[in-house]
A and B are shown apart, each in its own frame.
Chain A
Amino acid sequence: MKLNQRQSEPYSASTNACKLCKPLGACLAFRGIEGAIPFLHGSQGCATYMRRYIISHFREPMDIASSSLGEKHAVYGGAPNLKLGLKNVMTKYDARMIGISTTCLTETIGDDVPMIVREFISDLGNGHKDTDIPALITVSTPSYSGTHIEGFHAAVRAVIDRLSTDVDTHEGLNIFPGFVSPADVRYLKEVLDDFHLKGTVLPDISRTLDGEALTQYENVPSGGTPISQIQSMGGSRASLEFSRTLDEQSSPAALLEEKFRVPRHILGMPIGLRESDEFFGILCEASGRELPEEHCLERGRLIDSYVDGHKYVFGKRAIVYGEADLVVGLTAFLAEIGIQPVLCATGSVSGKLEDAIRSVAGELLSELPTIMEGADFFSIEESAAGLMPDLLIGNSKGNHLARKLGVPLVRVGFPIHDRFGGQRLLHVGYRGAQSLFDRVVNTLIASKQDRSSVGYTYM
């Protein structure tokens, strides 16, 4: 909860939110499935706003269809427009899956979306073969309950629930990376290949939100997790889920375990050396192989650079904010390079952030950071006042705060609206840690250099 320090009572108003709404997360997750188009059941503005927000980060087309409800639909129900919208999307988009998320409007007027979709399918009648009809996945995402990250996981879980079946056990591995960047997903797939492991990463936005130049506009962008692979995730020998804050009822991996007895391994988002070690350790075990040489070397270079750069960063104080699992990963990383995280904040409320941070960074820190759930940037700023931070690390929405505090901001995660290449930022694994470390060190060096009147040319 965001607390007013003086009165110890929650503020009624949010100022400069550190979270986004639930359907946005669902749309992003659906975008990571091959042949899928996200569809919002609500008024036109929701889809347009989210498209704009997502496009400004990824710089890629992001079509989100909408049922475009008007006043009469709000009174009499949105079913006719939802059906019409689905029909139009089927006609023009040639999608293999339509991911339908609700909005606060349609949740509040009480549209029973799963039922409307069943009606829609039966209305289509015999003229349509089952194979002609795209998979219609529905997920309930009222924005007054939870944030974009809950929406993201809920969409993935809905996809698993609908598509995964009880297939024969196979050698495959499921990876639920959570909301990471396209570059992260590309890297994870490469790592699986290097271990000669067959795996399914769900969702996979590596190409759908970071695609190549084209001659033809693609109605649905190429890439994404193939539906056939999702169907067989129920037979995989294990699921790896990068989340220390997700509860069981919301976890896609837990659902697979419950339905098809696929063992669920919970690990943190593999950010930094130790969290990556845990991830690679599991892959070694799963593949029965040693750490492949290129990754071993990458790990060695990372440690070498930690040594080379340690004095630039030691004892610096950082404020970390963003989605809870990203914050946990970043905190683990900062603690191991000698930076003191003084404030860790997230906009969502899981009740698990503190324990997660204690478990990944507790042994390295003499003092645990202030931990805030349900935070907005106003409450972060209030808490930051006495903390004398040297840097901020998080998405670009902390820019205002960084300027106010007069400290640099290392941009990671989503959204990054004021820099170029957010979709290509790598956060995970040894390579991601290397990239983060270089950026953090250079940011601190630059900050020192810029403040000095000497104009040092060696730093």
Chain B
Amino acid sequence: MRASVFEQREKQVYRKGEKPFEMDCDKDSLAGAVSQRACVFCGSRVVLYPIADALHLVHGPIGCAAYTWDIRGALSSGRSLHRLSFSTDLQERDVIFGGEKKLYQALVELIDRHGPEAAFVYSTCIVGIIGDDLEGVCKRVAAEKGIPVIPVQSEGFKGNKRAGYNAACRAMFRLVGTGDVSDISPLSLNILGDFNLAGEIWVIREYFRKMGLEVVANITGDGRVADIRRAHGAALNVVQCSGSTMDLAKMMKESYGVPFMRVSYFGVEDMAESLYEVARFFAHQDPDITARTSQLVNQELGALYPELERYRRDLAGKKAAIYVGGAFKAFSLVKAFRLLDMDVVLVGSQTGTEEDYRELHEITDDGTIIVDDSNPLELSAFLQEKDVDIFVGGVKERPIAYKLGVGFCDHNHERKECLEGFVGMLNFAKEVHSTVMSPVWRFVPRRHRAKLLTGMEATRNTHKK
């Protein structure tokens, strides 16, 4: 079974308890290994994508725009420009003669047509090679049209997704500091690293509202250009999602002195702790905030626990595997599964850091496999070895699980269920329950591999039970 790991990747796989913790990570993906990772462009695109009143123009051949059209269910409460897919659709002649003229025309055309509050122009692999002066074109159009036109340096090959997060943060940072902040409350914050999948940011905003806090900017779920422009006026940045927006928080701290804290809205423990930490931050200005927060948490938990109990009874002792983009989400998932009395036997991420994996090592049980930048061959071998009941991941992991007859929960772009907040924990339990407890698993071959029954014999045996 272990032969499925490439020799060059052996140090990116760790089994807790076998030897002292040591892991390689943050490496370029191994050629030929079918990494589940994406590229720089992907990192930038997913972070900026939910800014709903901006124009997002992909400068490159059609693929990059086509594959990211409406890619995640990032909801908007108003304009939804982000759900359109714009591309300069570069052709051979543009590659030869340069794409600047086409980019200029495309920007002018689209800005006139849609009247966005700002435009982001994404660079793709090919633009990095042909050397179009993105900055120059953007500057010219910005002057002519009177809106910020911001280049995103997201050439696909210039690193991995994390480099793309950084490019997105640098692009947003050009907006920050350009808006009026005079009427912002001292009890205020920005939400960073939430993308409003299935309306999640609205749940979180409501919690903060109940605590008496003003949310200045959503970064970036249900995001608005004008809000980001005045984000520097907030008293605090709360940052979720390991890599994606941390760089922006750091830049804002350095330039505007806005402090930040890391939070997570997944799972009961992390959700509650995040709210309490925010309350502690503001407690010296607003002593009552702690009481309001406790009340909020208690109210939510009071409603949640009896409901959760029903699912826990069925799920206790089942085995879970986790493979996600950023490791920070994995921490919360490990705890969430623990709350359901389930055992996490595999946890991994595409872009975790050594610090991340060390923390995963701390919070998992002996025997757990921890893996960095994995691939279908490894993941499928791990699922089989650990006889997993549910695999949590994204679209690319789903067929690996299903092909082998393993349950699955989408915790990525395509989820349509709100999984954040206290209500999110309940939805998560429902999701997990709806896959783990399905009767279909009794028909899948892996449940009958010992006897190698045919499908029909398996069905008959099930009937006898």
Contacts and interface: CB of A to CB of B under 8 A. Distances in A.
Interface of A: 11-17, 19-21, 23-24, 39, 42-53, 55-56, 59-71, 73-74, 81-82, 84-89, 91-93, 103-105, 108-109, 142-145, 147, 211, 213-217, 219, 376, 397, 400
A144 B94 contact: yes
Contacts of A217: 376-377, 380-381, 384, 400, 403-404
Interface string B35-49: 111111110000000
Nearest to A47: B34
27 contacts: A12-B105, A12-B106, A17-B62, A17-B69, A44-B35, A44-B37, A45-B38, A45-B156, A49-B38, A49-B64, A52-B394, A55-B398, A56-B395, A63-B34, A71-B159, A88-B6, A88-B31, A88-B32, A103-B125, A104-B124, A105-B126, A143-B63, A144-B90, A213-B405, A213-B443, A215-B404, A217-B376
Contacts of A219: 377
B110 interface: yes
Contacts, number: 235
B399 A65 contact: no
Contacts of B30: 68, 84, 88
B102 A12 contact: yes
B95 A14 contact: no
Given A45-B41, A69-B157, A104-B60, A13 B109 contact: yes
A48 B63 contact: no
Contact of B92 (A21, A105, A145, A376): A145
B287 to A, nearest CB: 49
A74 B102 CA distance: 24
Interface in B83-109: 83-92, 94-95, 102, 105-107, 109
Given A23-B63, A45-B38, A17 B376 contact: no
Contact of B35 (A60, A66, A211): A66
Given A20-B66, A217-B377, A68 B156 contact: no
B461 interface: no
B157 A70 contact: yes
Contacts of A24: 63
A20 B399 CA distance: 22
A82 B31 contact: yes
A23 B125 CA distance: 15
Contacts of A13: 57, 86-89, 105-107, 109-110
Interface residues of B, number: 80
Nearest to B449: A215
A17 B90 CA distance: 13
B28 A45 contact: no
B95 A108 contact: yes
A372 to B, nearest CB: 15
B267 interface: no
Given A65-B32, A88-B33, A214-B403, 14 more contacts: A12-B106, A13-B88, A14-B87, A23-B63, A56-B414, A63-B376, A65-B33, A66-B35, A67-B32, A69-B157, A142-B92, A214-B404, A216-B384, A216-B404
B381 A108 contact: no
B122 to A, nearest CB: 12
Nearest to B110: A13
Given A14-B62, A69-B157, A144-B94, A42 B125 contact: yes
Contacts of A46: 39, 63, 156
Given A81-B31, A87-B32, A88-B33, A61 B39 contact: no
B126 A144 contact: yes
Contacts of A42: 125, 157
Nearest to B8: A88
B386 interface: no
A391 B130 CA distance: 43
A82 B32 CA distance: 8
Contact of B34 (A45, A65, A82): A65
Secondary structure class of chain A's binding surface, majority of residues: mixed
B326 interface: no
B42 A49 contact: yes
Given A44-B29, A48-B39, A213 B34 contact: no
Nearest to A211: B403
A60 B29 contact: no
Contact of A14 (B65, B400, B414): B65
Contacts of B399: 55, 59-62
B32 A108 contact: no
A43 B86 contact: no
A66 B449 CA distance: 33
B358 interface: no
Contacts of B35: 44, 48, 66, 68
Which among A66, A84, A376 has the highest number of chain B CB atoms within 10 Å? Answer: A66
B28 A70 contact: yes
Contacts of B85: 14-17
A104 B126 contact: yes
B326 to A, nearest CB: 15
Contacts of A74: 125, 128-129, 157
B65 A17 contact: yes
A20 B84 CA distance: 15
Nearest to A21: B63
Contacts of B33: 65, 68, 88, 92
Contacts of A45: 38-42, 64, 156
B396 interface: yes
Contacts of B42: 45, 48-49
A135 to B, nearest CB: 16
A21 B396 contact: no
A43 to B, nearest CB: 4
Which among B63, B65, B106, B380 has the highest number of chain A CB atoms within 10 Å? Answer: B63
B148 interface: no
Contacts of A51: 396
A16 B69 contact: yes
Q: Which 10 pairs show the lowest CB-CB distances between chains A and B? A: A45-B39, A21-B63, A88-B32, A217-B380, A85-B31, A85-B32, A13-B106, A12-B105, A49-B67, A143-B61
A331 to B, nearest CB: 24
Contacts of B70: 400
B457 to A, nearest CB: 15
A314 to B, nearest CB: 35
Nearest to A219: B377
Nearest to B114: A15
Contacts of A68: 28-33, 35
A52 B395 contact: yes
A62 B395 CA distance: 11
B446 interface: yes
Contacts of A87: 32
A215 B405 CA distance: 8
Nearest to B102: A12
A425 to B, nearest CB: 18
